[in-house]
C-alpha cells in the first residue's frame, strides 16, 4: 500500500457535523462543510476518500511504554514490581539482541496502530532498531536514550553525544533523554541529564513515585519524597514527563503543577503490579497536566490506549461518578500526550498535524449515537477503527496494515528462540 500524504476526506462526521477535509504536507489544510470542497481544484497527488458513515477522531498518543517488551508478554505475571523486574524481566532482557528489539518493536507498533495509536514514547535499549521500526511503519515516536547505572552500559558521554548529534531525528522521530528512575540513576547523573535536556531542548522522561518501596528508599536516602528530591535537583519543568506518579504528596502535586511538568498515568500496569491507586481528583484539582500510557506489554499486558483511557476514567470514579468525564479522559489519551512531547497534534483542526482515526459509526458499540465521545470512551473498542492516519498518511487503511502477517511470524520466531536460549 502506497502511503499517500495528500488526501481529501469527503462527507465525514466531525463534532456532529458532516465535513470535507483536505490534508496536505502532513497537516489539516481545510475543514469545510460537506459538499463545499471542489475536488477538481486538487491535483492527482490527492487521494479521494468517501468517508460516508465514518467519523473522524483524534488518535491516541501513548506517553509511556517499552515497545520491544511485547516479546515478554505473559512471560512473568502476578507478582510485585521489584521481584518481577529482578528475577524475571531484567535477566531475560540481557539476552535481547538488536534484531530481537526490532522484531518486538514492530509487533508493538502493529498492535498500537490497530488500536488507534500514532505516537509512543519508548524507554528501552537498542534504540536504533526501534527507530527503524517506527520509521518503516510510519508512526511518530519519542525514542529514549535510556540511562541506567545498574545495567551494563557504554560510557554515558557517548549517550550525550548521540543525543546532541540528532542524526536519527525526522518529522516522525524525536530523541528524548530518559534516565530510568531514581533507583537506577544516581543524583549526579540525574542532574546532568536534566541540565543537558533543558540546554539542548529535549524532553526528559523517567519513572517516578511508582511504588511504596521506591518512596521508602528515597526518603531513607535523602529525607525527601521523590518529586521533592528531583525538584531540588532541578529536574522538574515544562520538558519533564514523569511516568506513574502514584505515591505523591499534596506538596509534590503543587510542585508538579507549578513547574508545568506532565504526569503519565498508567492505569493497567499500576493495577496489575499492585503499585497503588492514582490520585486523579487531587491531581486535576491542582491543574497537573496528565497524559496516559500503557507501560510495557509485559506488565499490562497489551498496548491498547483505548483500554487505558477507559480504565483511567472508571478508576477515577470509584468515589465520585463526576470525576474525569469522557471528554477529559479522551483528551488525556490524545491531546495531552501530544502536547507533553511538543506535538501540535491530537486535535482535528486546520493547521494541526494530520493525525486521525476514521471510525465506523455502524459498529454495534457506537449505536445509538447520542454522544459519540461517551460511546468512544465507555463502550467502543478497536474493532470500530477502519483507518488510521499519521502525518497525513494512511498507516492502516480499511483495517489493513502493510506486512502484518510477516511481523507476527517474525515475533513468534524471536520469542521462541529467546525462550530456548
Determine the longest span between alpha carbons in the chain, in angstroms: 70
In tens, the pLDDT along 363-386 reads: 999 999 999 999 999 999 999 999
pLDDT beyond 90 at 326? yes
pLDDT beyond 80 at 14? yes
Query: Cα–chain-centroid distance for residue 224?
Result: 30
Q: Match domain 60-340 to its CATH number in 3.30.342.10, 3.40.50.10240, 3.40.50.300, 3.20.20.140.
A: 3.20.20.140
What is the rounded CA–CA span in Å between residue 322 and residue 342? 30
pTM of the model as a whole = 0.97
The DSSP output letter for 397 is B
What is the rounded CA–CA span in Å between residue 256 and residue 241? 10
Please provide the DSSP assignment of 320-369 as one string: -TTSS-HHHHHHHHTHHHHHHTT-S-SS-STTSB--EEEEETTSGGG-S-
pLDDT at 236: 98
Q: Could you please state the CATH topology (level 3) that the domain comprising 6-58+347-404 is classified under.
A: Urease, subunit C; domain 1 (2.30.40)
The DSSP output letter for 108 is H
- Residue 175's pLDDT band, with cuts at 50, 70 and 90, is very high
CA-closest candidate to residue 388, choices 377, 396, 376: 396
CA-closest candidate to residue 330, choices 297, 367, 300, 375: 375
What is the rounded CA–CA span in Å between residue 185 and residue 191? 10
The continuous run of DSSP H or E covering 268 comes out as helix 267-272
In tens, the pLDDT along 201-248 reads: 999 999 999 999 999 999 999 999 999 999 999 999 999 999 999 999
Helices H / strands E in the chain, number of each = 16, 16
Kindly list the domain boundaries of the chain, sorted by start residue: 6-58+347-404, 60-340
What is the rounded CA–CA span in Å between residue 117 and residue 3? 17
C-alpha neighbours within 13 Å on the C-beta side of residue 240: 28
pLDDT at 1: 40
Average pLDDT, the chain: 96
pLDDT at 3: 65
pLDDT at 152: 79
Q: What percent of the chain has pLDDT over 70?
A: 99
Amino acid at each position: 500500500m502506497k502511503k499517500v500524504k495528500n488526501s481529501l476526506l469527503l462527507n465525514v462526521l466531525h463534532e456532529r457535523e458532516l465535513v470535507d477535509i483536505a490534508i496536505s504536507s502532513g497537516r489539516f489544510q481545510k475543514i469545510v462543510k460537506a459538499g463545499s470542497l471542489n475536488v477538481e481544484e486538487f491535483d492527482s497527488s490527492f487521494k479521494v476518500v468517501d468517508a460516508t458513515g465514518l467519523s473522524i477522531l483524534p488518535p491516541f498518543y501513548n506517553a509511556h511504554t517499552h515497545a520491544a517488551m511485547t516479546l515478554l508478554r505473559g512471560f512473568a505475571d502476578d507478582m510485585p514490581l521489584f521481584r518481577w523486574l529482578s528475577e524475571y524481566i531484567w535477566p531475560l532482557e540481557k539476552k535481547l539482541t538488536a534484531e530481537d528489539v526490532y522484531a518486538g518493536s514492530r509487533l508493538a507498533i502493529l498492535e498500537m496502530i490497530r488500536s488507534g495509536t500514532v505516537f509512543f514514547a519508548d524507554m528501552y535499549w537498542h534504540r536504533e532498531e526501534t527507530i527503524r521500526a517506527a520509521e518503516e511503519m510510519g508512526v511518530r515516536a519519542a525514542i529514549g536514550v535510556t540511562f541506567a547505572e545498574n545495567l551494563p552500559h557504554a560510557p554515558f558521554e557517548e549517550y550525550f553525544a548521540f543525543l546532541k548529534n540528532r542524526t536519527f531525528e525526522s518529522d516522525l522521530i524525536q530523541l528524548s533523554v530518559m534516565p530510568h528512575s531514581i533507583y537506577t540513576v544516581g543524583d549526579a547523573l540525574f542532574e546532568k541529564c536534566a541540565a543537558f535536556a533543558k540546554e539542548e531542548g529535549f524532553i526528559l522522561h523517567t519513572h517516578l513515585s511508582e511504588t511504596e518501596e521506591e518512596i521508602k528508599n528515597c526518603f531513607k536516602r535523602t529525607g525527601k519524597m521523590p518529586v521533592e528530591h528531583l525538584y531540588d535537583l532541578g529536574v522538574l519543568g515544562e520538558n519533564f514527563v514523569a511516568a506513574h506518579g502514584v505515591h505523591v504528596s499534596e506538596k509534590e502535586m503543587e510542585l508538579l503543577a507549578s513547574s508545568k511538568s506532565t504526569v503519565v498515568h498508567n492505569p493497567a500496569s499500576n493495577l496489575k503490579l499492585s503499585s497503588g491507586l492514582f490520585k486523579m481528583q487531587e491531581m486535576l484539582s491542582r491543574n497537573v497536566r496528565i497524559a496516559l500510557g500503557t507501560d510495557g506489554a509485559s506488565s499490562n499486558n497489551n498496548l491498547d490506549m483505548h483500554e487505558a483511557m477507559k480504565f483511567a476514567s472508571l478508576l477515577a470514579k470509584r468515589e465520585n461518578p463526576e470525576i474525569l468525564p469522557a471528554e477529559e479522559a479522551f483528551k488525556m489519551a490524545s491531546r495531552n500526550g501530544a502536547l507533553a512531547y511538543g506535538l501540535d497534534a491530537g486535535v482535528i483542526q486546520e493547521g494541526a498535524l494530520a493525525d486521525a482515526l476514521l471510525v465506523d459509526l455502524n459498529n454495534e458499540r457506537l449505536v445509538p449515537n447520542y454522544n459519540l465521545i461517551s460511546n468512544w470512551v465507555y463502550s467502543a473498542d478497536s474493532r470500530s477503527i477502519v483507518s488510521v492516519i499519521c502525518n497525513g498518511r494512511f498507516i492502516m487503511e480499511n483495517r489493513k496494515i502493510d506486512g502484518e502477517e510477516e511481523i507476527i511470524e517474525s515475533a513468534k520466531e524471536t520469542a521462541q528462540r529467546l525462550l530456548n536460549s
